[in-house]
Chain A
Amino acid sequence: MAQNLFEGTKEQLEQLLVCIEAHRGEEGALMPVLHEAQNIYGYLPAEVQTVIAEQLNVPLAEVYGVATFYSRFSLTPKGKHIISICLGTACYVKGSDKILQAVERELRISCGDCTPDKKFSIESCRCVGACGLAPVMIIDGDVYGKLTEKDVKGILDKYMQD
């Protein structure tokens, strides 16, 4: 698929190699390296996994196995703004499923997907620990709490503009 073409820069690769060097020889280095690689690239494309496998001398299959096991690691690129709706129990009991549906309706995509213009992606998460504010939604790290369905459009509009 054209939209999944990997475009990594030289700077990103250098950053990755520096990070791998820092963890070289450490027991259990793969997880910390994958975390940092995802920070650098935003996701973990096959090309990046290959570099990690070669550099750490771990089979690519193992890198892929670990990258796909954990939900925080993503093999596909994400939108510019990442919307995360908490579906932990405290939020669910207070109706976070309805907030999720409202966001899906508003952006016309489903949870887990990215809008065609790559502006937004929606994901669900399990408890950020802000249960006092339930139900909560997190956009790019900013927490919006005590939400009702009516609040959704206004909040998204703020991000639509840029």
Chain B
Amino acid sequence: MTVEELKKIAASKAELINVRRIVREQAEKLAARTGYRKQVLVCGGTGCTSSHSLKVIEQLEKSFKELGIDDVLIVKTGCFGLCALGPIMIVYPEGAFYSQMTPEHAKTVAEKHLIKGGSIVKELLYAETLHEDGSVIPFSEIPFYKHQMRVALRNCGVIAAEDIDEAIGAGDYAALSRALFEMTPDSVIEEIEKSGLRGRGGAGFPTGRKWRFTRIAEGDVKYVCCNADEGDPGAFMDRSVLEGDPHCVLEAMTIAGYAVGASEGYIYVRAEYPIAVERLNIAIKQAREYGLLGKNILGSGFSFDIHLRLGAGAFVCGEETALMQSIEGKRGEPRPRPPFSAQCGLFKKPTVLNNVETWANISPIILNGFHWFSEIGTERSKGTKVFAVGGKIKNVGLVEVPMGTSLKTIIYDIGGGIPGGKSFKAAQTGGPSGGCISAKFMDIEMDFDNLVKIGSMMGSGGLIVMDEDTCMVDIAKFYLEFTADESCGKCTPCRIGTKRLLETLDKICSGKGEPDDLVKIKEIAEHMKSSSLCALGQSAPNPVLSAMEHFGEEYTAHIYEKKCPAGVCKSLLNYYIEPDKCRGCTLCARNCPANAISGTVKSAHEIDTAKCIKCGQCIAHCKFNAIVKK
């Protein structure tokens, strides 16, 4: 394919996609020119597919046939971000946002809205997109989207993820064409350096500098790698980019190949992401067919191809040297650095490795220039960051905001606050390598450096919200179980340190904690931080250290008073029935697996704490909230 042909495809699809991007009145005018009266976008990301969005698409197709609708386009996209409301369906040009769709709902929308002369089915809309007077608010103006700025996720939920023409229409490969024909490799690197882009995988290393090191490293063969081994449990932005806009990653890797002088690239992706793997395979195949990968790309003389490698469930493979070992077909064990990957990486050749979200930022920088990018964000952290907001929060999903946005904005303005009238306790960022942020840091500008200052880290951007029902000792134990399980065992401080920390926390949770344990934890943590081989071991103590710092009183309550203030640690709790609330319905007694509950019909029941195994079945079954843990 030539540059002209690329531009032709882009132009032919541009109007269709613009209908989904611009405000309603203009979109309506534009829609008339596209040949499609309306467009229905249904999320085909992992979250919505899990709640059966594909059945919604099937039903739409069926209804269209029955109703003779042939001028409405159905588009299966990637993630819209608001995963809590899935399956999500958006109708353009109105921008009507339907949530929690079922096939029956889809049928209704087809019959009443999508049919000629139809109008929006208000009762199926996401409630927040309706004004009190009944008028419809375009979804882009509701709080969840209004405060966001989408750079990395620009095309997610906008284009058909398996259609390269739509990707081109949305702007993919325009940056590649500019880099290949209007820029030298050095000027590409300079642009990235000046933008101030830092790696989104966790460490925040300046991307441009990484590319420069690889460019100047000696070697005839060099590699470009993409880290899509998103192992941090609770982070799913990389998956969303791969599912929603896989071409933007292929394009960015090709640009890097041109800049550093590489002709081959590898994407290392988790096998746990079947949809992302499938879409990457489709995207690579399409790009090869179009000549956007392979020999002599766009007639520029530059050649580059990309291979896919699947992970097999090892968290440590997110570490760069371990990842490269794994691509080489070995055990994914990290190795000491130096030599750094820029000099000696994959197959012992100079290699540049970036995370998916980092790659997703490359094309906008090339197209809009470094000035544009460096004006977003804070002094030392430029651009935006995608957070995967989960846990005890109303709007679970993906949120992309400028660096420096406060936790308060993310949790309350965008996230909609904590459900069930509970109060905020802490937010964990950076997953098993990060730490927690307590309420007093709600207003801090979240960027790479500020998060480190308060004992946490950006990490890949997982942000788990915890409410008053979360025990901070238990959650630290949870993370240590994870790191102890995932430690590869190569170096002693990590292998043994994670085990000893876990044992100590287990002891505290089971009511056998001693005052000396807190000192021991700190001592082990210091050794692990200073002497572990890779970031897994160096950062594994972070969750417990930060929890001890911000919630020290919970640790002392567990150790001195043998109490779990949040009511989580089983050994420190007993179950009781409050006699005045119990109606004697016998449901608890019938469901108790240990036969620990006695009582007769219509009189208050009682739990024998000696027999009770604290499984919580009684609480789950009680309809009168009569059972308490204390």
Contacts and interface: CB of A to CB of B under 8 A. Distances in A.
Nearest to A66: B331
A71 interface: yes
A129 B81 CA distance: 12
B169 interface: no
A62 B482 CA distance: 26
A123 B102 CA distance: 30
Contacts of B51: 133, 143, 145
B233 A93 contact: no
A128 B272 contact: yes
Contact of B84 (A27, A87, A101, A132): A132
A131 B392 CA distance: 11
A32 B328 CA distance: 11
B482 A90 contact: no
A132 B86 contact: yes
Nearest to A23: B329
Contact of B309 (A28, A65, A66): A28
Given A29-B329, A89-B464, A143-B50, A149 B470 contact: no
A136 B388 CA distance: 17
Nearest to A136: B50
A93 B329 contact: no
Interface string A62-95: 1001100111110000000000000111101110
A103 interface: no
A22 interface: no
Interface in B252-271: 271
A127 interface: yes
Report which residue of B233, B314, B328 has the largest number of chain A beta carbons within 10 angstroms of its beta carbon.
B233
Contacts of A105: 593, 615
Interface string A35-56: 1000000000000000000000
A28 to B, nearest CB: 4
Contacts of A136: 50
Given A126-B231, A131-B234, A28 B328 contact: yes
Nearest to B332: A69
Nearest to A132: B83
A10 interface: no
B439 interface: no
Given A126-B233, A134-B396, A143-B50, A149 B617 contact: yes
Interface size bracket, A side: 35 or more
Interface in A130-151: 130-134, 136, 143, 145, 148-150
A155 interface: no
Given A31-B309, A131-B390, A89 B47 contact: no
Given A70-B314, A71-B312, A130 B326 contact: no
Contact of A126 (B84, B312, B315, B475): B315
A70 B272 CA distance: 13
Interface size bracket, B side: 35 or more
A152 B231 CA distance: 27
B391 interface: yes
Nearest to A97: B478
A98 interface: yes
B181 interface: no
Report which residue of A92, A127, A128 has the largest number of chain B beta carbons within 10 angstroms of its beta carbon.
A127
A134 B347 contact: no
Given A27-B347, A70-B314, A90-B233, A131 B396 contact: yes
Contact of A72 (B82, B234, B271, B273): B271
A16 interface: no
A143 B331 CA distance: 30
A31 B47 CA distance: 28
B239 interface: yes
B442 interface: no
A30 interface: yes
B488 A69 contact: yes
B440 to A, nearest CB: 21
A127 B313 contact: no
Contacts of B85: 132
A34 interface: yes
Nearest to B333: A69
A18 interface: no
Contacts of B478: 89, 92
Contacts of B315: 126
Interface in B299-318: 309-315
Contacts of A90: 233-234, 390-391, 396, 464
Given A136-B50, A143-B50, A93 B466 contact: yes
A89 B331 contact: no
Nearest to A134: B390
B344 interface: no
B428 A89 contact: yes
Given A32-B309, A133-B86, A150-B620, 10 more contacts: A31-B309, A35-B310, A90-B233, A93-B466, A101-B615, A126-B231, A127-B232, A130-B47, A132-B397, A133-B50
29 contacts: A28-B329, A30-B329, A32-B309, A66-B330, A69-B331, A70-B312, A71-B313, A71-B314, A88-B233, A89-B233, A89-B479, A90-B233, A90-B390, A92-B233, A93-B466, A94-B392, A98-B616, A101-B615, A126-B315, A129-B46, A130-B50, A131-B83, A131-B388, A131-B396, A132-B397, A134-B390, A134-B396, A149-B620, A150-B621
Interface of A: 27-32, 34-35, 62, 65-66, 69-73, 87-90, 92-94, 98, 101, 105, 125-134, 136, 143, 145, 148-150
Q: What are the 7 A-B residue pairs with the smallest beta carbon separation, nearest first?
A: A132-B83, A88-B233, A70-B312, A90-B390, A30-B329, A143-B50, A28-B329
